[in-house]
Structure 1
Amino acid sequence: MDSRYLSAEERRQLTVETVVALAGVQNPSEITTAVIAKRMHVTQGALFRHFPSKDAIWQAVMDWVTVQLLGRIDQAADRAASPVEALRAMFMSHVDFVIAHPGVPRMLFGELQRAEATLAKKVVRSLLQGYAQRLTGQLERAKAAGEVESDTDTQAAAILFIGTIQGLVMQSLLSGDLQAARSNAPGVLGIYLRGLGAGRGDRIGGAIFPTQGA
């Protein structure tokens, strides 16, 4: 489609997609409005007709990330046969999302490291809170179903779930091989689930998985 004939909403969406793509190949802090406009083959003036500032662009990007990521994990959880399988599906869908959009973790980490309060940073915090609430709900259901230990601290477990993915992604970014996050994810997730009592002898998704040597 010729970008000259895009609607205002389509132009805003294209801007967001452009920033996400740029963040995948360069430092997000170096993505200026001039860089964005050049990538889109428009003037900065045209860009500012749809966004009042660079901060507004970043807020729109983080809004997009929130909708896309939470939508993915919700769909993954809805298709799962049990709470623990939902956690497994959420974990893997999150990793797949990062691999598909490598600029996203760079932008998220960048926003959280900024000292000043920005609208984008507020959106990121809201994303993390919404994510944690979903995880806590699944963990409480897993406790009720006897799939994890009954004394599991679900809030702490939710924090650890997100932190585990962040660590996995960060190490993969540092190694320069983001695909390693996908190959390492099952093993890392298995350790996490066993820590909840969901991997020893084990009821996962309603099935019994015998421990090695049993």
Structure 2
Amino acid sequence: MTRTHLPSKLRKKEIVASVIALSARQDIGRITSAQIAAAIDLSEGAIFRHFKDKSAIWADVLGWTRDELHARLDAASGTDGLARVEAMMQAHLTFVQQYPGVPRILLAELQSPAPSPAKQIALELMQGYRLRVATQIDHAIEAGECNEHVDAADAAIWLLSMIQGLVLQALATGTLDGLNKQSGELFTFFKRGVEAGR
């Protein structure tokens, strides 16, 4: 097999992309290093010239996911406050539609009882996401968009829980294309809750 030589950094990105693509089509726990290699026309041995073991691959996959999602949340358009929260939610769901393997990977890592570098990165992703949403809800409270008695941290957890439920339902039914429409209804429900009693 003949492949163009790539710098290690680029080859690792290619391997990560292969894992994410495979995760959209099959059970995460059944993905093998041989399948990852075959998907990008490499030998299995070549994979482990870039990663010391399979757990290192998963850590890089989660690292890419954390960095990419956080970057999209930070780039979401909209003024501060609830408009920005809604834009962040839309950015998240667009990301899921583009990479449906990502929520499967996150769920697999977060459900694992054993600590691992990949699980730690998944937790960092969730914590960073919650912090970004809570910050915008705080801005909304300060601007009078929300009831002053709303706890921003709790409201952020509430919203993320609803988004996760929406994504899980879409994955279960295979209807990812409808996420953005459903998210509008979900956000309206959320907004009513945090505005109540203003």
TM-score using structure 1 length? 0.88
Equivalent residue, structure 2, for 1:138: 136
Q: Residue in 2 aligned with 1:112?
A: 110
- Within 5 Å, give how 1:153-164 maps onto structure 2: 153-164=151-162
Match of 2:4, SS state, is helix
Identity, % of aligned pairs?
36
1:41-52 alignment runs, 5 A limit: 41-52=41-52
Distance, in Å, in 1 between the alignment partners of 2:167 and 2:185 is: 14
1:147 paired residue number: 145
TM alignment of 1:72-91, pairs within 5 A: 72-76=72-76, 79-91=77-89
> Per-residue displacement from partner, 1:20-40 (whole Å, max 9, x unpaired)?
111111111111111101111
In 2: Cα distance, 1:82 partner to 1:140 partner: 10
CA distance in 1: counterparts of 2:143 and 2:185, whole angstroms = 24
Q: Distance in 2 between matches of 1:44 and 1:51?
A: 11
Specify the code of the residue in structure 2 equivalent to 1:93.
A
Q: Which residue of 2 aligns with 1:170?
A: 168
How far residue 155 of structure 1 moved from its aligned partner, in angstroms, is: 1.0
Q: What amino acid does structure 2 have at the position aligned with 1:24?
A: A
- What is the aligned partner in structure 2 of residue 183 from structure 1? 181
CA RMSD of aligned residues (A): 1.5
Q: Cα deviations across residues 129-163 of structure 1 (Å, max 9, x unaligned)?
A: 11111111111111000011100011111111111
Residue 5 of structure 1 and its aligned partner are, at CA, apart by: 2.1
Give the Cα separation in 2 of the matches to 1:161 and 1:17. 29
| Matches of 2:25 and 2:153, distance apart in 1 | 35
Give me the whole-angstrom Cα distance separating, in 1, the residues matched to 2:80 and 2:3. 45
Letter in 2 for 1:110: A
Q: Indicate the residue corresponding to 2:17 in structure 1.
A: 17
For structure 2, the residue ranges without an aligned partner over 5 or more in a row are none
Structure 2 match to 1:97:
95
Q: Distance in 2 between matches of 1:3 and 1:150?
A: 60
> Secondary structure at the residue paired with 1:105?
helix
SS state of the match for residue 196, structure 1? helix
Residue 193 of structure 1 corresponds to 191
Amino acid at match of 2:189: I
Instruction: Give the aligned residue type for 2:80.
Output: S
Cα shift readout 1:86-133 (whole Å, capped 9, x = no counterpart): 001001110110001000000001111111111100000011111111
Which residue matches 2:119? 121
Contact 2:80 2:136 in 1 (8 A): no
Per-residue deviation at 1:81?
Answer: 2.1
User: Which amino acid is 1:49 matched to?
Assistant: R
Measured after TM superposition, the shift of residue 3 of structure 1 is 4.3
Separation in structure 2 between the aligned mates of residue 63 and residue 150 of structure 1, nearest angstrom: 36
Counterpart Cα distance in 2 of 1:84 and 1:148: 9
Distance 1:197 1:49 in 2: 54
